[in-house]
C-alpha cells in the first residue's frame, strides 16, 4: 500500500507510558529514537508535556513532562522529527520554546469534542511559535454525531495541520472507520486526517489499514503494539503494510528483541479478557487495568457483570 503522502508517527513512549507512569529508562528511550530514525519513521512522540503545577514531577516519570534538555539527551535533529503531546486544560503554555529553539517539531493537542474552543486556542498559540500541530479528538465513539459534525466544521477553519480520528477505547469496527474516515475527509478539505487505534478487540492494525485505504495519511503505531491496556497498532506490521521503500523494519525488530519482549512480560499490554470486554462495550479501560493489577486470579464473569453495571451506579 505505497502512497508517498502517508506519514508514520510512533507513540511508543507516550502511549506506552500509560502502562508504567512514563518511567522508561533514558537508555531505552534513546535506543527507541535511534532505531526508529534508522527505520525511516517520520515522527517519534517521546511523551507528554504535562503541566507540573497539576502533575507534580515526583509522582510520574520524566517522559510525562519531556523537558527540552531531557529530549536532547536522547534525540537529535534529523529527518525523523520529535513530537510531544499535550492535553487541553493540563498544559502550561510557558513550557514551550519557539520551535526554532526546540528539538520538538510537532505538538499534538489531545482534546475532547466539548473542549474544542480551548484546543483551537492552544493550537493557535503553538502555531505562532512555529510548530506543526495536530488535534486528536479523543473518545469519538462516545460523541453524538451532531456534536462531532459541529466540531469538525469548526476545525476546518483552524490552522491545525491534521485532525486525528481516535478510537480511544478500541471499540470501533471497520464499518465505523469507513464512515468516520469519509466524514473527516469531507469536512476537512485541505487538512490531513490521522488515525490512532487501540487494540482492545484486536482490530487496531485492521482498522488502521482501513483508514489508509479510505485516504487517511497520518498513521499512529507503537513498537510491538505497546500502549494503554490492550495497546495500539503494531509499528512493525504497519511498516510492512505500507510498502514504502524509505521504511526499514529491521531496526524495529532488533529493538523488540532487545527491550520489548521483556517489557511486555513486565507491563502486560496486549490481549487480555478485561481489556477485550471493555472494548466490546465501549468502556474506558480504567476498571480493566485495575483488575489486571489486582492480586490473584480474575473472576471474568464477575468483571463482565460489574462492567455492564458501571453506568447504572
| pLDDT for the residue numbered 250 | 98
Average pLDDT over residues 246-254: 98
Residue pair 11/48 in contact by the 8 Å Cβ criterion: no
Residue pair 282/141 in contact by the 8 Å Cβ criterion: yes
Residue 198 has pLDDT above 50, yes or no: yes
Residues whose CB falls within 8 Å of the CB of residue 266, separated by 6 or more in sequence, listed in order: none
298-306 own/partner pairs: CB under 8 Å, 24+ apart:
298/273, 298/274, 300/273, 300/274, 303/273, 303/274, 303/277, 304/277
Return the SS3 of 166. Answer: strand
Chain segment 123-132, per-residue pLDDT in tens: 999 999 999 9
Chain segment 12-67, per-residue pLDDT in tens: 999 999 999 999 999 999 999 999 999 999 999 999 999 999 999 999 999 999 99
Chain segment 73-116, per-residue pLDDT in tens: 999 999 999 999 999 999 999 999 999 999 999 999 999 999 99
The domain limits of the chain are 7-267, 273-312
Return the SS3 of 219. Answer: strand
What backbone phi and psi angles, to 5 degrees, belong to 65? -120, -30
Average pLDDT over residues 167-193: 98
| pLDDT for the residue numbered 313 | 45
Average pLDDT, the chain: 97
- Residue linked to cell 495500539: 232
Residue 120 has pLDDT above 50, yes or no: yes
Superfamily of 7-267 according to CATH: Aldolase class I (3.20.20.70)
Amino acid at each position: 500500500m505505497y502512497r508517498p503522502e502517508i506519514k508514520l508517527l510512533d507513540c511508543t513512549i507516550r502511549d506506552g507510558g500509560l502502562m508504567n507512569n512514563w518511567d522508561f529508562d533514558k537508555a531505552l528511550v534513546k535506543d527507541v529514537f535511534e532505531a526508529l530514525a534508522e527505520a525511516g519513521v517520520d515522527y517519534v512522540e517521546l511523551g507528554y508535556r504535562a503541566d507540573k503545577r497539576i502533575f507534580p514531577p515526583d509522582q510520574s516519570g520524566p517522559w510525562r513532562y519531556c523537558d527540552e534538555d531531557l529530549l536532547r539527551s536522547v534525540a537529535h535533529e534529523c529527518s525523523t522529527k520529535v513530537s510531544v503531546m499535550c492535553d487541553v486544560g493540563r498544559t502550561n503554555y510557558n513550557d514551550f520554546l519557539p520551535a526554532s529553539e526546540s528539538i520538538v517539531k510537532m505538538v499534538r493537542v489531545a482534546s475532547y469534542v466539548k473542549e474544542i474552543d480551548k484546543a483551537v486556542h492552544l493550537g493557535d498559540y503553538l502555531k505562532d511559535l512555529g510548530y506543526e500541530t495536530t488535534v486528536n479528538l479523543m473518545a469519538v465513539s462516545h460523541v453524538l454525531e451532531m456534536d462531532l459534525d459541529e466540531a469538525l466544521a469548526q476545525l476546518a477553519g483552524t490552522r491545525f495541520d491534521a485532525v486525528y480520528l481516535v478510537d480511544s477505547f478500541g471499540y470501533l469496527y471497520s464499518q465505523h472507520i469507513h464512515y468516520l474516515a469519509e466524514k473527516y475527509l469531507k469536512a476537512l478539505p485541505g487538512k490531513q486526517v490521522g488515525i490512532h487505534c487501540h487494540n482492545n478487540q484486536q482490530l487496531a492494525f485492521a482498522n488502521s489499514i482501513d483508514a489508509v485505504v479510505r485516504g487517511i495519511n497520518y498513521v499512529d503505531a507503537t513498537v510491538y503494539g505497546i500502549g494503554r491496556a490492550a495497546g495500539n497498532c503494531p509499528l512493525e506490521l504497519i511498516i510492512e503494510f505500507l510498502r514504502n521503500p524509505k521504511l526499514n523494519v529491521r531496526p524495529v525488530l532488533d529493538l523488540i528483541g532487545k527491550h520489548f519482549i521483556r517489557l511486555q512480560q513486565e507491563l502486560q499490554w496486549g490481549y487480555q479478557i478485561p481489556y477485550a470486554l471493555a472494548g466490546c462495550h465501549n468502556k474506558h479501560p480504567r476498571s480493566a487495568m485495575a483488575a489486571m493489577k489486582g492480586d490473584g486470579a480474575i473472576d471474568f464473569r464477575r468483571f463482565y457483570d460489574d462492567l455492564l453495571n458501571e453506568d447504572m451506579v
